[in-house]
């Protein structure tokens, strides 16, 4: 059985494993003070063309969201997110467990607009309610859509005008930036958002996310927050070595581009079979709508997520490709799909 269930089924790109092996017996300081982590941070700053950001390496996306959002908000403040947002549906109430409410916003394509956020602000006018303060977005989103430059600029300007924190979940940032429909650069993000992270776990690393804090008022004492919540790793070198390898050349983007390419092959061929999609996704997640009987047959040979019921006889599934997805497996899936149809 081949899996299209997620983009972290495999371990890590061989180059990363080799880098970890080669540096294995080099003695280093702990807690991110090692040479590999420090070099990785400097390299990321260089890639963004910004020396005025703080960068912290953490082990996973939920951990990063939890620590960042709880550190950025005061006790009475809340986050806002699309109803499909990861912090709402897939993090076991991690943000709420820190005492911060997450306000859900219904969207068509998983993306937030200034008018969406304004409606929440209008509905929370005084101290008898939580104060909406942080706007949580994902790029790419949980349903595969991406923010273009114009959309992100508009949202950024709105947040600045209304003294809101704009935070971007970048678990699949590589896929978003390598999408053929994307017009954003990594170097654009520090100007447009207050904090974001670069996802390694879903793009070739064993584990690891690089949190970039751009707004000065959010930087203070962040390592205290990391330590208190168990994220300041004694062997922080494990994270630093991986990001150093991912960004010392174009590997990070090459891996994301491959994942997108595999998804494009799936998307194009499925479209030719007149199969509709739940959402428009130009990244490495696609959501075809199939007859339930066909889904049952596919499940005998492939692993994937059942996403949602569309009508009595049809449902949407999620197919995810990764840096390690083999084209022959994509071709085999498409051939099996055609036979079953």
User: Does residue 130 share a domain with residue 18?
Assistant: yes
How many domains does the chain divide into? 2
pLDDT at 108: 84
Q: How far apart are CA 54 and CA 153, in angstroms?
A: 22
- Give residue 154's pLDDT: 98
For residue 89, pLDDT beyond 90? no
Alpha carbons within 13 angstroms on the beta-carbon side of residue 28 total 23
Does 294 lie in the same domain as 225? no
Identify whether residues 258 and 333 lie together within a single domain.
Answer: yes
Looking at the whole model, is its pTM more than 0.85? yes
Whether 68 contacts 195, CB under 8 Å: yes
Q: Are residues 57 and 196 in the same domain?
A: yes
If you average pLDDT over every residue of the chain, what do you get?
Answer: 97
259 and 211 in a common domain: no
**pLDDT mean over 113-127:** 98
159 and 307 part of one domain:
no
Here the tokens at position 309 are: 């019921």
3 state DSSP class of 23: coil
Of 247, 276, 295, which one is at a domain's C-terminal end?
247
Task: Give CA–CA dist 278/267, Å, rounded.
Answer: 12
The owner of tokens 């390592």 is 223
pLDDT over 90, % of the chain = 99
> Based on the domain organization, do 232 and 281 belong to the same domain?
no
Provide the residue range defining the domain that includes 335. 2-7+251-340
What is the CATH classification number for the domain harbouring 324? 3.90.1150.10
Q: Identify the pLDDT of residue 189.
A: 98
- The 10s digit of each residue's pLDDT in 51-76 is 999 999 999 999 999 999 999 999 99
Looking at the fold, whether 239 and 255 belong to one and the same domain comes out as: no
What CATH number should be reported for the domain holding residue 121? 3.40.640.10
- pLDDT exceeds 90 at position 283: yes
Whether the CB-CB separation of 199 and 171 falls below 8 Å is answered with yes
Residue that is last in its domain, among 247, 279, 298: 247
Same domain for 239 and 257: no
How do residues 130-139 score in pLDDT, each as one tens digit?
Answer: 999 999 999 9
Whether 195 and 317 map to the same domain: the answer is no
């Amino acid at each position: 059985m081949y899996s299209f269930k997620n983009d972290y089924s495999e371990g890590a790109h061989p180059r990363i494993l080799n880098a970890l092996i080669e540096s294995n017996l080099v003695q280093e300081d702990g807690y991110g003070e090692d040479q590999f982590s420090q070099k990785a941070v400097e390299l990321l700053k260089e890639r963004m063309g910004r020396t005025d950001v703080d960068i912290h390496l953490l082990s996973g996306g939920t951990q990063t969201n939890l620590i960042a959002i709880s550190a950025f908000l005061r006790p009475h403040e809340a986050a806002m997110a699309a109803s499909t947002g990861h912090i709402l549906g897939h993090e076991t109430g991690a943000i709420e467990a820190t005492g911060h409410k997450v306000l859900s916003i219904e969207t068509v394509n998983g993306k937030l607009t200034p008018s969406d956020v304004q409606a929440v602000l209008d509905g929370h006018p005084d101290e008898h309610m939580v104060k909406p303060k942080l706007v949580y977005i994902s790029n790419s989103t949980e349903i595969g859509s991406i923010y273009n430059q114009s959309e992100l600029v508009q949202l950024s300007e709105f947040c600045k005008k209304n003294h809101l924190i704009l935070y971007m979940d970048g678990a699949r940032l590589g896929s978003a930036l390598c999408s053929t429909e994307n017009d954003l650069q990594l170097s654009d993000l520090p100007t447009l958002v207050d904090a974001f992270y670069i996802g390694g776990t879903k793009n070739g690393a064993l584990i690891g996310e690089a949190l970039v804090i751009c707004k000065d008022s959010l930087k203070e004492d962040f390592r205290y927050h990391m330590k208190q919540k168990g994220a300041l790793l004694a062997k922080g070198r494990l994270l630093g070595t991986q990001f150093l390898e991912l960004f010392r050349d174009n590997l990070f983007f090459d891996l994301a581009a491959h994942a997108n390419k595999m998804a494009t092959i799936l998307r194009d061929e499925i479209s030719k079979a007149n199969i509709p999609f739940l959402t428009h996704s130009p990244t490495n997640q696609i959501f075809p709508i199939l007859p339930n009987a066909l889904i049952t047959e596919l499940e005998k040979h492939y692993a994937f997520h059942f996403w949602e019921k569309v009508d009595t006889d049809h449902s949407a599934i999620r197919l995810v490709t990764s840096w390690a997805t083999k084209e022959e497996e994509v071709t085999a899936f498409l051939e099996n799909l055609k036979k079953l149809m």
